């Protein structure tokens, strides 16, 4: 195999190693783990906020209902008192009306207490909802900033990958197709290193030394192959 073709293959491999490194960097940005955590926190905050909003909505419905019932009870109490004090009834009717006024008055008191309790609950929930909204907004902002940082980092990495892909295409244009196929097959099984220099009797791929006899054996293949790792060698 022509030495220039093998040398070009080394340059091609350098580009591939750089591309692999950049792809790994792209997939393992520190911001990605931070974003994952921020996203989880934001989802939890949104869920908490939704739960509080649902409770507040239900409390408002209960309050509206209770205030409506209280208003009806007050109207009925007022009407009953008017009838009681207007006279014109016998003693039995008067007593029954008095008992009804007493009952309605007690009922009104109970309902007023219930309304006041619901008002207190609503006030507390409104404060919790406001705090939860602020927390969710803060986490959403943090998540958005991380998204922007990741997008910017990916853009820069993709530009670097693009430049190396262009250079890789230029280099590959001068390498025989059969050699390229062999290179690609080896890269898949040799941790991305398909070809290495034989420097001072040592393989640059597996870093094992080759004896004089092993170097002679390596030269007998085309291209030369390391007797230990079977990577292509540039002698």
**209 occurs within a structural domain:** no
Note down the domain range covering 14: 3-175
> Residue 3: what pLDDT?
59
Q: Give the distance from CA 185 to its chain's centroid.
A: 36
**229 occurs within a structural domain:** no
At 15-60, the pLDDT tens digits run 999 999 999 999 999 999 999 999 999 999 999 999 999 999 999 9
**181 occurs within a structural domain:** no
Q: What is the pTM of this model?
A: 0.74
At 77-96, the pLDDT tens digits run 999 999 888 878 888 988 99
Here the CATH number for the domain that contains residue 145 is 1.10.287.1490
Distances (CA, A) of 71 to 63, 77, 78, 219: 12, 10, 11, 104
> Is the confidence at residue 1, as pLDDT, over 60?
no
Any residues with CB less than 8 A from the CB of 129 and at least 6 apart, and which? 49, 52, 53, 56
**45 occurs within a structural domain:** yes
**199 occurs within a structural domain:** no
pLDDT top residue among 162 and 3: 162
**217 occurs within a structural domain:** no
- Distance separating alpha carbons of residues 70 and 106, to the nearest angstrom: 12
How many domains is the chain built from? 1
**12 occurs within a structural domain:** yes
**194 occurs within a structural domain:** no
């Amino acid at each position: 195999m022509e030495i220039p073709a093998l040398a070009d293959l080394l340059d091609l491999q350098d580009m591939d190693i750089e591309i692999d490194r950049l792809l790994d960097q792209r997939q393992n940005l520190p911001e990605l783990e931070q974003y994952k955590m921020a996203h989880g926190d934001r989802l939890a905050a949104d869920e908490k906020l939704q739960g509080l909003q649902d409770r507040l909505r239900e409390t408002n419905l209960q309050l509206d209902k209770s205030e409506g019932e209280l208003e009806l009870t007050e109207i009925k109490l007022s009407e009953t008192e008017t009838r009681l004090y207007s006279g014109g009834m016998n003693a039995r009717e008067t007593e029954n009306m008095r008992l009804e006024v007493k009952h309605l008055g007690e009922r009104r008191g109970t309902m007023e207490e219930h309304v006041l309790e619901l008002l207190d609950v609503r006030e507390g929930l409104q404060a919790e909802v406001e705090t939860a909204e602020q927390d969710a907004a803060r986490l959403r902002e943090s998540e958005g900033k991380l998204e922007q940082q990741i997008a910017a980092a990916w853009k820069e990495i993709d530009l670097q990958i693009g430049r190396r892909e262009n250079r890789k295409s230029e280099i590959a244009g001068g390498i025989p197709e059969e050699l390229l196929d062999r290179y690609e097959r080896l890269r898949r099984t040799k941790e991305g290193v398909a070809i290495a220099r034989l420097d001072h009797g040592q393989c640059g791929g597996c870093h094992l030394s080759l004896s004089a006899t092993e170097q002679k054996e390596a030269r007998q293949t085309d291209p030369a192959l390391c007797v230990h790792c079977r990577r292509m060698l540039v002698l």
